[in-house]
Chain A
Amino acid sequence: MAAPLKAEYPSVSEDFDLSVKIVKFVPLKNEEQGAAQEQELASFEALMLPHLDAAQNLAKWLLRNEQDAQDVVQEAYLRALKSFGGFHGSNGRAWLLTIVRNTSYTLMKKNRAVDLTTTFDEERHATDYESVNPAALLEQTEDAKLVREAMDHLPAEFREILVLRHLEGLSYKEIADIAQIPPGTVMSRLARARGKLKEYLAARIGKENR
């Protein structure tokens, strides 16, 4: 162990000097500080700005209001920058979406507490495979208005999970992280959300065809 070290650093005193150099405080000048911040901002933007659409999409679906969504996205980016030091992962989109989601809920709580409570009658809303499947009819329709209406009728936790799965194509694991639910809950919540959406669509389509 000692031999290779000696070979690399023939003199002990040289070795010692080297460590002293590192310990010394080197106050950075203003320009250097600026450069470091520039660099941080550049890497933040490179990692996070590509997910701007995803951020806007989630916020808009959660808040159902364009202006609120934009405000939340902007606020979320600021929050993300502030805690960027704590981001070491590779999944920038999931990390950003978690912040967007939390920021959205903060605003929703402030605005309309009612929206967050999901009262749910499991019996009535149980997915019923035997009933008419509205998807076939949905397939025919060109306009997205119907789905948007149906989605907007769902509680926030269902809108959120449908958006993350269907529009972002995220895995159950990623969804669990973002929505802060146990991974085992993702499948059942998705099933309930889809069932509820289907129920609403079936009712709407049934009404129109009458």
Chain B
Amino acid sequence: MNCEEAKKLMDGYLDGELDPITSQTIEQHLRECDKCDQAYKAHALLIRSISDKTPYYKAPAGLRERIQSSLREEIAKRSPRSVSRNIPSLFPSLFQSKPSERRAVLFGTQWNWLALAAAIVFAAIIAFNLVPRLQRPGADQLLATQLIASHVRSLMANHLTDVASSDQHTVKPWLDAKLDFAPAVADLGSEGFPLIGGRLDYLDNRPVAALVYQRRKHFINLFVWPAESGSTGADKRITRQGYQLLHWVDSDFNYWAVSDVSDNDLQVFKQVFEKQLPHR
């Protein structure tokens, strides 16, 4: 292990979050490298100090009582009607026609619903096995699911970008430093697709770069990772759950653009992106 690696893993080591073998390798390195050992001691002190000196804000007196009374209110508000509200309205007519039995449906005969659920699962299993192999989701479909999940998560969890910048000369070095490949990054602001930033993601069993672009109020996640050598192929377009996916390959990279913009916008995006690529 070299100093660079030791430095990178230092926090995980001090937090006791590394596997035993990696921990031992670090300990070995600390015994051999005086400079890293110093750094380790200093960082350990810093970590301890943060824990010791950061104030802990306890709940003030009265908050517990306020919460308890609002919880009680909430429970009291629950009429039998609001209990059924928790059930997705799969069978709305059922619940409306038998108001007095709603609780009974929930508590008295729960196993009956389980039986129904089991029957549905069973039917699904049979159906799945009867569907010819060809119609099962292929690798592309599985990847599409991952891509959409990743796109949605990036918007939902407030983690759109790791590095927020419209400057391609900020985003690119940042990504290059984190990945074992150097994706091309271009700001397409002049073409109506401003660069918002970059993010690391994990797809198809490998770390990938996610470039984030904006189109009006919409975001486009462009996932990039190295193409297998010699792989070519036509563009692929997939529409799923209202999201558009566009895939293309150039001599170096695999590209997957995911967004809720129109298919046309995504095609334009691809053209603009390719035009801006530095000629290699």
Which residues of A does B touch, CB under 8 Å?
Answer: 22-28, 33, 36-38, 40-41, 44-45, 49, 52-53, 55-57, 60-61, 66, 69-70, 73-74, 77-78, 81-82, 85, 105, 116-122, 127, 129-130, 133-136, 138-139, 141, 144, 146-148, 151, 157, 162-163, 165-167, 171-172, 180-182, 184-185, 187, 190-191, 194, 197-198
Contact = CB atoms under 8 A, between A and B. Distances in A.
B86 interface: yes
Nearest to B98: A25
A65 to B, nearest CB: 11
Given A135-B46, A185-B200, A191-B8, 9 more contacts: A27-B104, A27-B108, A33-B80, A41-B71, A41-B72, A56-B59, A61-B57, A82-B74, A144-B53
Given A36-B107, A45-B68, A172 B15 contact: yes
Nearest to B202: A182
A38 B200 CA distance: 47
A23 B112 contact: yes
A113 to B, nearest CB: 11
B64 A135 contact: no
Contact of A45 (B8, B12, B71): B71
Contact of B165 (A38, A119, A133, A162): A119
Contacts of A49: 64, 67-68
Contact of A135 (B11, B45, B103, B200): B45
Contacts of A184: 202
Contact of B54 (A134, A141, A162, A182): A162
A129 B45 contact: no
Q: Interface majority SS on A: helix, strand, loop or mixed?
A: helix
B98 to A, nearest CB: 8
17 contacts: A41-B75, A56-B57, A56-B60, A73-B67, A74-B70, A81-B75, A120-B164, A129-B36, A144-B54, A147-B49, A151-B54, A162-B50, A165-B15, A184-B202, A190-B15, A194-B46, A194-B50
Nearest to A198: B46
A53 B48 CA distance: 21
B46 A134 contact: yes
Nearest to A136: B45
Contacts of B63: 52, 56, 70, 73-74
A187 B7 CA distance: 12
B51 interface: yes
Interface residues of B, number: 65
A34 B55 CA distance: 42
Query: Which 5 residue pairs across A and B have the least CB separation, nearest first?
Result: A129-B39, A135-B46, A180-B157, A133-B42, A56-B59
B40 to A, nearest CB: 9
B280 interface: no
Contacts of A144: 53-55
A183 B153 CA distance: 14
Contacts of B42: 129, 133, 135-136
Contacts of B39: 129-130
A48 to B, nearest CB: 9
B54 A22 contact: no
Contacts of A166: 47, 50-51, 54
Residue from B47, B53, B56, B164 with most neighbouring chain A CB atoms (10 Å): B53
A85 B47 CA distance: 38
B213 to A, nearest CB: 16
Nearest to B86: A85
Given A53-B56, A191-B11, A147 B50 contact: yes
Given A166-B51, A182-B202, A53 B74 contact: no
Nearest to B85: A82
Contacts of A60: 57
Residue from B7, B48, B57, B80 with most neighbouring chain A CB atoms (10 Å): B57
Contacts of A157: 158
